[in-house]
Amino acid sequence: MRFLKKLKEFFRNFLSLNFYFTVFTAGEIVIALALARLIAGWVGIDLNDSPFAYFALCSVCIAAGLAILINSFFLKPISMLSESMKKVSGGDFSIRLKENSKIKEIGELNHSFNAMTDELGATEVLQSDFVSNVSHEIKTPLSAIEGYATLLQDSDCTDEERKRYTDKILFNTKRLSELVGNVLIISKIESGTVDICADTFRLDEQIRQSIMLLEAKWVEKDIEFDIELDDIIFTGDRSLLLHVWNNIIGNAIKFSPVGGLVTIRLENCTNFVRFRVDDCGPGISETAKKHIFDKFYQEDSSHKQEGNGLGLALVKRIVDMSGGAIKVENLPESGCRFTVELKNQ
C-alpha cells in the first residue's frame, strides 16, 4: 500500500504543467507534419519542390492545434478562476472549483482557492455573529440607562429612589465601559495590532493588587481567601496580564457562594510559572468546558447581568499570545479550578 501510494504521488508530481505542455507540443508537431502532407496531397502541391509551402502548412497546423489545446486545458480553468474571484470579491463565498484536475498546478490552484473561500466564509460568519452579539450586549445596558434616566426626570421621585436609579445608571455605564474595553482589546489581539510591552515586575505583587482591586466584590459576599504566592520576578506585558488575573479571580468570587472560600496559588516552576485558582461554586458542565473560552458564551444565565461573556475569551487570547496555556477542570467535591502556565523569560 505504501509503495502504491508513493507511486501515485510520483505520477501526480510528474504530470505537471510542463509535462503536459511538452507532450502537447510534441504531439502537435507530429500531427501537423502529417496534416501538412495530407493537405498538400489534396491541393496537388509537391512538397519536394515547395519546401516553403510545407513549412507554412506545418506552422498553420501547429499554431491552430496549440491554440485549441492551450485554450481547453490552460486558459479555460484560469478564466473560470477569474470569474470565481469576481464573485468572491462581490461577497459570494460559496464558490467552489473542482480540485481533481489532471494538471497538478491547476488542481493545487483550485485547492488554494477553495481553502481561501472556506476561510473567508468562516470569517464572515464569525464577524456577523460578533457584530450581532456586541450590538445586543451594548443595547442591554443602554436601554437600562435610558430607562433609569427617564425615571429620574419624574419630579415626584424621592431621594432614596433617585439614589437607586443613579446607582443603576452607574452600574450599567460601568458594564458598557468594560464591554467596549474588552471588545477593543480582543479586536487588537485578533488583528495582530496590539502592542506588547515587555516589562519586568513582581508577579506575586500584581496578583495581590488584583485581589485588592476586587475588594468590593469579595467583601460584599464575605469571601475568604487561602493564598500562597511564591516571590517571582516575571517579564511580560503587565497591563494585559492584569486582565487575566482580574477575570479569573473575579469569576471565582462571582460563582462562589456567600461565605465561600477561594484558593489562590502561584508557583515558580522550572522555566515557567503556574497560577491556580480554585472556587467552591457549582462547577462547570462538560458542554460548557468546550465553549467556555468562546466570545459571549455564558452558561449560567443567572449571572448574565454581571458580565458580557468576553472575560474568559480575552483571557484565553492573552495567554495564547504570551505563549502560555490555560485549562479548566472541576474539583472532586465542588467548584472548579483554572490553571494558567506562562513561560518566564
Verify that 203 and 157 share a domain, yes or no.
Answer: no
Verify that 182 and 210 share a domain, yes or no.
Answer: no
Residue 112 pLDDT: 81
Can you tell me the distance from the alpha carbon of 78 to that of 95, in angstroms, rounded to the nearest whole number? 15
CATH of residue 179: 1.10.287.130
Domain end, chosen from 140, 161, 191, is at: 191
290 within some domain:
yes
Verify that 157 and 269 share a domain, yes or no.
Answer: no
Verify that 175 and 225 share a domain, yes or no.
Answer: no
Q: How many domains does the chain have?
A: 3
Verify that 39 and 7 share a domain, yes or no.
Answer: yes
97 within some domain:
no
Who contacts 111 (Cβ-Cβ below 8 Å, separation ≥6)?
A: 99
Q: Name the 3-class secondary structure at 99.
A: coil
Domain end, chosen from 92, 111, 138, is at: 92
CATH of residue 337: 3.30.565.10
DSSP 196: P
328 within some domain:
yes
Verify that 251 and 294 share a domain, yes or no.
Answer: yes
Domain end, chosen from 146, 173, 191, is at: 191
**In the chain, which ranges are continuous DSSP H helix?**
2-14, 17-43, 51-70, 76-89, 104-152, 159-191, 203-213, 215-220, 238-255, 286-291, 311-321
The tens-digit pLDDT sequence of the chain (345 residues) is 565 555 555 445 545 555 555 566 656 566 666 666 666 666 565 555 555 555 555 565 565 666 566 656 666 676 777 777 777 777 776 777 777 766 666 777 777 877 777 776 656 555 555 565 566 567 777 888 888 888 888 878 888 888 888 888 888 888 787 777 767 777 777 666 666 778 899 999 999 999 998 898 899 999 999 999 999 999 888 888 988 999 899 999 999 999 999 999 999 988 899 999 999 988 888 877 777 877 665 555 444 444 446 778 888 888 988 889 999 999 888 889 999 999 876
333 within some domain:
yes
Three cell numbers written together for 50: 515547395
102 within some domain:
no
187 within some domain:
yes
Residue 156 pLDDT: 81
235 within some domain:
yes
Verify that 209 and 309 share a domain, yes or no.
Answer: yes
Global confidence as pTM: 0.55
Residue 130 pLDDT: 58
Verify that 40 and 134 share a domain, yes or no.
Answer: no
DSSP 151: H
Verify that 158 and 212 share a domain, yes or no.
Answer: no
108 within some domain:
no
Q: Name the 3-class secondary structure at 1.
A: coil
Verify that 142 and 71 share a domain, yes or no.
Answer: no
The whole domain housing 71 covers 2-92
Verify that 307 and 187 share a domain, yes or no.
Answer: no
Who contacts 134 (Cβ-Cβ below 8 Å, separation ≥6)?
A: 179, 183
Is residue 17 within 8 Å of residue 103, measured between CB atoms? yes
Verify that 237 and 322 share a domain, yes or no.
Answer: yes
